[in-house]
Amino acid sequence: MIFGDFLKAIGQLGDPRFLKVTLQGVLLCLALLIAVYAGFLWVIQSYVPDAVQIPLVGPVGGLDTLLGVGSAVLMLGLSVFLMVPVASAFSGLFLEEVVEAVEERHYPGAPPVPRLGLWEGLRDSANFLGLLIAVNAVAFCVYIFTGPFIPVAFWALNGFFLGREYFTLVALRRLGREGARALRRRHFWQIWAAGTLMAIPLTVPLVNLLIPVLGVATFTHMFHRLMARG
């Protein structure tokens, strides 16, 4: 049944609202990375001297250029790790559009619900990003002891997180926070399994950028299926 939810979500990836949310998340993420890099360059140009005096060697120039090139390489490396969590956090501001698109197409009889306010969306996105960073910080410690099972540990840890956050995002619209939390506890293992299914593509470049939209769509189908079962 989880695979059925997943396949329904994949079948709607061409929806204009799905594409719009994905593009918004990626563009905002790129804008943030560019802004951070511009800040690095400003610090280098403002506080790093053009040359330094090294004993027995003399003045050595081009230090600011060297640091500038080094910072560019560093930002490229960091972007590999930061692109997905930051894009996910920014996409979280718009993911309600994905839920609405899924419900309009597959669950037209579902009663309408009010949209979350901007402040609540910002708060949830900030929590989303903070938890994702925290989970992966813990994961790095776990990876030391997992050896060849590093991918499994990555999928399991991120699967737990993604399942928890995406299901809550969908469920709280109709059940409120307490109701969403109770339903999540009742179907804990199924939600974790679905989250793990979302985590596996995180290791595939470019495909991983679709996960915020694909994940929310999948958990929207799961939520309505679980509610129909009672």
What are the start-end ranges of the H helices in 92-117?
95-106
* Residues facing residue 59 across a β-bridge: 53
User: What pLDDT was estimated at residue 117?
Assistant: 61
Would you state the pLDDT for residue 59?
46
Measure the CA angle with vertex 156, ends 150 and 159; round to 5°.
130
Please give the Cα distance from 44 to 71 (Å, whole number).
9
147 vs 126: CA distance, rounded Å? 32
Residue 34 is predicted with a pLDDT of 77
Q: Compute how many other C-beta atoms are within 10 angstroms of the C-beta atom of residue 134.
A: 11
Predicted pLDDT at 61: 46
Please list the ranges in the chain whose pLDDT falls under 70.
40-41, 43-93, 115-122, 124-125, 128-129, 132, 135-136, 138-140, 142-143, 146, 205, 230
Residues 28-51 have pLDDT tens digits of 777 777 777 777 667 666 665 554
CB 89 within 8 A of CB 129: yes
